[in-house]
Structure 1
């Protein structure tokens, strides 16, 4: 009996040591990233045996790339130029091996890659942070799609105070890009924080925000269903139902579920929709096929390059000019298009706008700096959302 107790005690000590190792991952006193008062940022990583250490990031200067300098004790260091206010992502390249910052616990997944993140305040990024304001809630819900013959998952932001009275709210449907899912606008777009802050600051009206999964061949994000445990995130063009129009044609299933489940104002005047990249393509086609459903429409860096697609073979995409003319006759209150000056999709967006001119569809165009990046899509939301339901 005594030997058994001793053995069990030894086992518990060993388990405790193992658990302690799991939480003791920080590398001594190394600080990285260090956001400096002048909006420069210093990175450090300990790699004494490395021959080369680089940083790969998404800030504008030098295309976010730099070679770090080795210092004492094998600690490599680099300080950026002055950065704009934003949330930035980065990784280290240590002798050709890409990885996150080992002393920075804050990460985000974008498609199938994990990035370390940090914020530079004093501007746009202030709207991405949790402030001392009334907070809404996010509900993860499942709706049934007869078209897909499956239950599908989406996230729904409800503003502060929702459900305390019988008040009904307008609804903003927000769609992700290729490789994203129903978590993208929350994790990378900071949509819940943005909505809390814009509402509290009086910059927009309180509204419900619906963020569905646009990968119609999948029920939910990777890892969220039994089948999806083996599904690794990939760009949507590698998944079933890419650009076959089923997601767009089935979109009323989402709208009907939302109106039946939440306190909405179920009419065109109180519905908005926007999407980034692939979601912009979805937004274009949803509103073209259902011209009486949305009064506010936003395309963010929309994936509207039709050069490799036979439009007339896809019912959702066929007769687009006729559909856009009918949409124009319905006179949506706002059709807002935004794209970066360095975005590879800018020429396709300009061709779309020329098409809209011929079809009589009025729109507003915003051209921003830079390319196909989350910093642009977050900032487009800061511009688009305050215009809704006014």
Structure 2
């Protein structure tokens, strides 16, 4: 009998009618041209009831400004060390906008440059970090909403309504723009922060109701220079928005915390304001990204871009040809300094092996951590994705992975296993249930610990009380001979039952009854689980088979495994608390075999549960398999 459990990942593509063709600012974009019409910069004074004084702001009106027409308004905020003149003096918005108007790239708009320090002495003098001056940036929210906007809408020919107002800013002003804009979506429909400072509220405070942003915002922008020390503020906002599928642009650009970055931001953003926005067309804006979490310390490349493309760059002046083999081979291009680079297609979520090919020789990337996979040490890259919270490093009690060596009379060799023990194991004095967890072909006992992140998965599950505290034993499943033939499978069966289990039970405090023992594995480890587990349901109360299955040409008439199951189905069904079979999508290379195997189980009356998670024969699928299987154990 088949119990089908489908675990689906949401895929959202946000698109509108008109695609934008916005690119990084070209040379000369901020140089004043003499042969074009120009807008006008005015200094205005308005009565601030919030502060109790008259305050100043600058207002840019576009070339050909006509009071008989109505214009949308962009409110553009400065940083902590500036005032209403900072953008004008260092960012030259009037020149950038004049040039864009002349090239027909932006919609006519009015731009207001306020002083975001709402206090009586609002000059950027003295200790700009003094408490009262920092607090004045928060006070500016009321000054903006209650005093400045009403004044601008009375004095200038502006369109009123939330869809006609945009709020953007840099650094401290970027934090203000996100705080005030997302906190007042009935006032602003166009919101964004450039290199937002630590005044940016935590995402959960910034946007407690993500659906409101989906419903109300016309455009949301978050950007930062890749060398900016304040990147954390932008990335945590982006991560939260991505988690809740809030449409936005996360734009990473070369540079630090300076006007070179912010002028480019202004150039790009103003071309998007007050128009239909096609988020899908904007997904490839970024030309730089974050160093991959799998990089060695201080290695800047490879970088993962917001669209999950990967930028590789290395210095190899003597090489004649350099490629990256990431399932698909990419040719790198050489520049005049001897550095080679390429940006890949979008890469699927999770972990991927890759190799450098230098003049045809496959080598590990010295900038990447290496992992045993593909039958050798290989480079690996982790592509983050929104569904990865379950193996994120959280502030929870953490277990540890111990390495134990033992001599095996079965293989006549010294072997080692990895053993995860949960937090509190040494102090508790209790006995724990055990999951024996097997890797796939071309990998070894390190796979689940390094590529699979199993310790983080278990730490989080146990902390959330969604899984029982347990030991997880990761054995080296590599035996002599062809891995799926009878001889190595028999050898593994003996190694597991005659050597590994007795060793664990002699050296760790574990429960020794059937219902406190589980066996699971992926791919080759799934075959091993079937072979060793099905005939030993008196020893294992739980079996997990991930992306695996008996081969399609096997059947109950000619194969002893199926024959055994057919004869003993009642015992198997009675003994197993959980027989869990899981699979990636149709792109999983084991998918067809698994479907045929389960059909035969159905015919024989063998009971099992089935889970399918979108993906191929890859670690994202197997991590999710462990996450789901572990919650079913030892209850």
Report TM bin, short chain: 0.7 to 0.9
Contact 2:313 2:340 in 1 (8 A): yes
Deviation at 1:174, TM superposition (A): 0.3
Contact 1:175 1:211 in 2 (8 A): yes
> Structure 1 residues 160-169 or 331-340, which shifts more?
331-340
Among candidates 73, 87, 93, match of residue 337 of structure 2: 73
1:218-255 Cα offsets, whole Å, 9 max, x none, are xxxxxxxxxxxxxxxxxx62799744523225533333
**CA separation in 1, counterparts of 2:493 and 2:385?**
39
Contact 1:85 1:124 in 2 (8 A): no
Among candidates 429, 450, 457, match of residue 187 of structure 1: 450
Whether 1:292 and 2:538 are equivalent positions in the alignment is yes
> Structure 1 residues 340-349 or 163-172, which shifts more?
340-349
Contact 1:339 1:367 in 2 (8 A): yes
Contact 2:529 2:543 in 1 (8 A): yes
What does 1:30-69 correspond to in 2, within 5 Å?
Answer: 31-58=300-327, 64-69=328-333
SS in 1 for 2:482: helix
Deviation at 1:331, TM superposition (A): 4.6
Contact 2:552 2:596 in 1 (8 A): no
Q: CA RMSD in A?
A: 3.4
SS in 2 for 1:177: coil
Contact 1:288 1:324 in 2 (8 A): no
* Change in CA separation of 1:93 and 1:365 when aligned onto 2, cut-off 3 Å: same
Deviation at 1:46, TM superposition (A): 2.4
* Change in CA separation of 1:129 and 1:97 when aligned onto 2, cut-off 3 Å: farther
**CA separation in 2, counterparts of 1:276 and 1:30?**
32
Deviation at 1:42, TM superposition (A): 1.5
Whether 1:276 and 2:522 are equivalent positions in the alignment is yes
**CA separation in 2, counterparts of 1:329 and 1:318?**
18
SS in 2 for 1:209: strand
Aligned to 1:227: none
Aligned to 2:151: none
Among candidates 582, 588, 593, match of residue 337 of structure 1: 582
SS in 1 for 2:602: helix
* Change in CA separation of 1:325 and 1:144 when aligned onto 2, cut-off 3 Å: farther
Deviation at 1:374, TM superposition (A): 2.9
Question: TM-score with structure 1 length normalisation?
Answer: 0.74
Deviation at 1:327, TM superposition (A): 0.7
- Flag structure 2 segments of 5+ consecutive residues without an equivalent: 1-294
Contact 1:296 1:332 in 2 (8 A): yes
Deviation at 1:257, TM superposition (A): 3.3
Aligned to 1:118: 381
* Change in CA separation of 1:237 and 1:306 when aligned onto 2, cut-off 3 Å: farther
Aligned to 1:356: 601
* Change in CA separation of 1:166 and 1:56 when aligned onto 2, cut-off 3 Å: same
Deviation at 1:358, TM superposition (A): 2.0
> Structure 1 residues 40-49 or 241-250, which shifts more?
241-250
Aligned to 1:221: none
**CA separation in 1, counterparts of 2:410 and 2:552?**
25
Deviation at 1:30, TM superposition (A): 8.0
Contact 1:245 1:317 in 2 (8 A): no
Among candidates 607, 620, 631, match of residue 375 of structure 1: 620
* Change in CA separation of 1:181 and 1:41 when aligned onto 2, cut-off 3 Å: closer
* Change in CA separation of 1:140 and 1:274 when aligned onto 2, cut-off 3 Å: same
* Change in CA separation of 1:124 and 1:381 when aligned onto 2, cut-off 3 Å: farther
**CA separation in 2, counterparts of 1:75 and 1:125?**
33
